[in-house]
Amino acid sequence: MMIDHAREKFKSTFMPGRKLCIDESIVPFKGRLVMKQYLPKKRNRFGIKLFVLCDVKTGYIVDFIVYCGVETQVELLQNLGLTGSVVNELLKDYYYCNRELYVDNWYSSPRLFLHLHQRGTYACGTVKSNRKGMPSFERLKRGETAAYASPPLLALKWQDKKTVLMLSTFHDDKIVPSNSVDYSTGLPKLKPQCVVDYTGNMGSVDTSDMMTSTLGCIRKSKKWHKKLGFHVIDMFMLNAFFLFKIMKNNTNCSFADFQLSVIRQLIEKYKQPAIIQPSTSRGIIDPFRFLHQDSLQHFPVKIPNRKSQRCKICASKKKRSETRFMCRKCNVYLCVDPCATEYHKTTGKIEES
């Protein structure tokens, strides 16, 4: 199966680094399909949902799972639910390596983070306030923070324009300057360390979607499996591009140039040689098909001023016919068919009646 082959190749070709992230991706499709999903915050809101594991540093797609409802190929763990089981399925080959995982509030829960911590994996992400095991926070003013710690878990609330709830197993409530600037003071904005790390490491999947959406090979189709198959091909191409940048240490190469280069190399490798059809049964090419250079000069061309003129042959036959073509060599106005052939079969001199 194409999906199983792609997952195996992605995992065996590249060993991810320390930081990983998991997020949803959408294969655009608006036709009738039982497992079609609606994600309003994604670039393509309707389509087939994928759970994607990415390496943060390179953007490489390490693994993915196609969401098929109750038939999703995931080992369901009762204490973690579907969301936690998806994370466990994607990460089970990378446990006990002290990696850092970043997820959004669809996956985050105290149970999942403890499950990962017991397997040597740290986690950080936004979290919903109604998750089981989350503490209740008081109302805060803008810029204030509140935190509760139960090692190894840290639950933090930060009041910005909106309320931000964070859950982490490797952060504290430290406040640090961020890359954004407060225009009222001209100084960097102060944010919790976990918020800064989450913002800087969580966009790999969305970046991959953006790159494949502009240069993807997906075409209009009523068949959902065709759309999914073309998207897998785009994922192969994108991963090859990331590996090329790593191996060649080429940061200036664009995805469009790399894709065009691959297409040209594939065409050169698999193109069929030109076959000349013989004119006889013995395979002997007819030498008379090649015209003399002088004959080519008599080919009909359009009249330069683009005005129609009377055909010389038709005029000699007392026919009222106009043409937009002429013989440049003979400087005679002629219809393309059959007057041009008839004129050049004769001596080229026709007596005008």
Question: What is the mean predicted confidence (pLDDT) over 76-103?
Answer: 93
Nearest CA-CA partner of 153 in 128, 170, 132: 170
The model's confidence at residue 138, banded by pLDDT at 50, 70 and 90, is very high
The model's confidence at residue 201, banded by pLDDT at 50, 70 and 90, is very high
| Residue 300 predicted with pLDDT over 90 | no
- In terms of DSSP bridges, do strands 332-333 and 325-327 run parallel, antiparallel, or are they unpaired? antiparallel
| Residue 83 predicted with pLDDT over 70 | yes
The tokens describing 166, both together, are 């964070």
**Residue 205 DSSP SS3:** helix
| Residue 55 predicted with pLDDT over 90 | yes
**What pLDDT, in 10s, does the model give residues 148-199?**
999 999 999 999 999 999 999 999 999 999 988 888 888 899 999 999 999 9
Report the phi/psi class of residue 143: left, alpha or beta, with left for phi > 0 and alpha for psi in -120 to 50: left
Q: Which residues contact 277 (CB under 8 A, 6 or more apart)?
A: none
pLDDT on residue 41: 79
The full DSSP string for 61-129 is EEEEEE--GGG-S---BTTTHHHHHHHHHHHTTS-SS-EEEEE-TTT--HHHHHHHHTTTEEEEEE--T
Poorest-pLDDT segment among 54-63, 159-168, 221-230, 340-349: 340-349
Q: What is the pTM of this model?
A: 0.74
User: Is the previous residue joined to 338 through a cis bond, with omega within 30 degrees of 0?
Assistant: yes
pLDDT on residue 347: 52
Report how far apart, in Å, the C-alpha atoms of 12 and of each of 5, 238, 247, 248 are: 11, 16, 16, 20
pLDDT on residue 120: 95
| Residue 69 predicted with pLDDT over 70 | yes
Q: Which residues contact 148 (CB under 8 A, 6 or more apart)?
A: 135, 154, 155, 156
Residue 283 CB neighbour total at 10 angstroms: 9
Nearest CA-CA partner of 16 in 127, 86, 103, 93: 93
pLDDT on residue 282: 53
